[in-house]
Amino acid sequence: MAGSMCRMKRFAAAFALALLLVVPATHAGEKASDFTFEDINPASSTFGKKITLSEQYPQQGVLVSFLASWCDPCWKELPILQDMADAGRVKVLGMAADEYGAGPEGVLAMVARKELTLPILWVDAEQATELEKRYTYQTLPSTYIIRPDGTIANVLAGAVSPERLHEEVTRAFDPPTTGPAQSTR
C-alpha cells in the first residue's frame, strides 16, 4: 500500500511538472487568472460561499497562498497571513487542493489547530489540474500578491518571514515616493 501511494505521488508530481512545462502559467506583471472555489473554513465569514478572485482584488488587492496539509512551511506561514488579513491591509485567500483523493479533512484539521479565520478555498483534483495550468506553485507555499487592478505584483516561492511579506505588500500597494513633497501655492 505504501509503495503504491509513493508511486502515485511521484506520478502526480511528474504529471504536474509536465503540465507546467507545456502550458504557460501566470507570472508577475501579468493579469491574474480568475477562479471561483468554495470557502471550506467554518471559522471564516464566507464559509460555504463561492469566492471569485476577480471580485476580491478591486477592493484592496489580494494575497493568494497555495498550500497543502503536509507542507510544514505552509502552516508556519499561515499565522503571518492571518495577521495580515486581521489588519485589513490586504485580503488573504488560502488555496488547498485535493491531495491524492484525501479530501479536505487534513486541511480542516490544520485550519482548526491554527485557529484561522481567513478563507480557505478547496480545489478538487480535476480543478487542481486546471489551476496548475494557470498558476505555478512548484514550491509550497507559493504566495501571489495581486494588485487592485488584477495584475500580479510578485510571486513568493517558499515560506517567507513576516518582514519580507510586509515589505512585498508595501512595495505592491504603496506608490513609491520620489522625494520631498512639492508645495502647491
pTM reported for the whole predicted model: 0.78
**Residue 137 pLDDT:** 67
Reported as a single tens digit per residue, the pLDDT across 1-49 is 555 444 444 434 433 433 333 333 457 889 999 999 999 999 999 999 9
**Residue 178 pLDDT:** 55
Q: Of the segments 19-23, 79-83, 134-138, which one has the largest average pLDDT value? A: 79-83
**Residue 145 pLDDT:** 95
Reported as a single tens digit per residue, the pLDDT across 98-116 is 666 678 888 898 899 999 9
**Residue 3 pLDDT:** 52
Residues of the chain with pLDDT > 70: what percent?
77
Nearest to 70 by CA among 38, 39, 100: 100
Q: Which residue has the higher pLDDT, 160 or 22?
A: 160
Average pLDDT of the chain to the nearest whole number? 80
Q: Which domains does the chain have, with CATH numbers?
A: 31-171 (3.40.30.10)
Cα separation, 121 vs 139, whole angstroms:
18
Helix boundaries (H) for the chain: 2-22, 57-60, 72-87, 105-113, 125-134, 162-173
Tell me the one-letter amino acid at 100.
Answer: Y
Reported as a single tens digit per residue, the pLDDT across 161-176 is 999 999 999 998 876 6
Q: Using alpha carbons only, how large is the chain's radius of gyration in Å?
A: 17
Q: Which three cell numbers stand for residue 115?
A: 485557529
Band of the pLDDT at 62, cuts 50, 70, 90?
Answer: very high
